[in-house]
Amino acid sequence: MDIENSIMATKQGFEDSFSLGDYYNKQTQDEHHLKNILDFLPFSADMKILDLGTGSGYLSFPIAKKYPNISIIGLDIVEKALEVNRFKANEENVQNISFITYDGVNFPFADNEFDMVI
């Protein structure tokens, strides 16, 4: 299987999981796990963070809400997940977060553009 077919198969698998809604959310909503991650990461003011494979925004949203001076870009291959995240960010008035579609091959950012990748 070539890289493009592999990416498409992976994308389809995530799209299928995401379409299951509550099942997908339950898999990515472990509060204890989230707290451990957030307590471990060294955040500072005015950071620019890339959430690579953001999915449901499991990490992006809590960071953006806790640190309003940090800019976060969530990148994912699943457009439906990004649409839901954009809607949620708008509804919850989270202004320091944005979501971008990634094709899995062509990385849309320059080297060293981010202070942290999660």
The predicted-structure confidence for 80-89, as pLDDT tens digits, reads as follows 889 999 999 9
Q: Number of structural domains, the chain?
A: 1
Helix or strand run (H / E) with residue 12: helix 3-19
Report the C-alpha gap between 28 and 56 in whole angstroms.
8
Measure Cα distances from 49 to 3, 80, 91 in Å: 27, 22, 22
What is the tens place of the pLDDT at every residue in 23-80?
Answer: 445 555 678 888 888 899 999 989 999 999 998 898 999 999 999 999 999 999 888 8
Q: Which residues are within 8 A (CB) of 35 and not within 5 positions of it... i.e. 6 or more apart?
A: none
Q: Is the pLDDT of residue 20 over 60?
A: no
pLDDT computed for residue 35 by the predictor: 87
Report the CATH number at residue 53: 3.40.50.150
Region 1-13: what's the mean pLDDT? Answer: 70
**CA-based R_g, the chain, Å:** 14
